Amino acid sequence: MKKQLTLISAAAMLALSLTACGTSTSSNTTDNNKQQMADMDMNHTGSGQVPEGLKEAENPTFKVGDSVTIHTDHMKGMDGAKATVVGAYSTTAYAVSYNPTTGGEKVTNHKWVIQEEIKDHEAEPYKEGDQVVLQADHMNGMNGAKATIDSAEKTTVYMLDYTPTTGGEVVKNHKWVTESEITK
User: If you compute the radius of gyration of the chain from its CA atoms, what whole number of angstroms results?
Assistant: 19
The structure's pTM equals 0.75
The domain limits of the chain are 2-39, 55-183
pLDDT for 129 equals 97
pLDDT for 24 equals 30
d(C-alpha 65, C-alpha 151), whole Å: 29
Residue whose C-alpha is closest to residue 155's, from 46, 57, 66, 32: 57
Task: List, in sequence order, every residue forming a beta bridge with 89; answer none if it has no partner.
Answer: 56, 157
Q: Encode the chain (184 residues) as per-residue pLDDT tens digits.
A: 444 434 444 443 333 333 333 323 333 334 444 444 444 445 444 667 888 889 999 999 999 999 999 999 888 999 999 999 999 999 999 999 999 999 999 999 999 999 999 999 888 899 999 999 999 988 889 999 999 999 999 999 999 999 999 999 999 999 999 999 999 9
Task: List, in sequence order, every residue forming a beta bridge with 91; answer none if it has no partner.
Answer: 155
d(C-alpha 19, C-alpha 26), whole Å: 15
Q: Chain-centre distance of CA 137, in angstroms?
A: 10
pLDDT for 140 equals 87
Q: What is the fold of 55-183?
A: SH3 type barrels. (2.30.30)
Residue 11 CB: number of other CB atoms within 10 A?
10
Q: Pairing state of beta strands 146-162 and 131-133?
A: antiparallel
pLDDT for 74 equals 87
Q: How many residues does the chain have?
A: 184
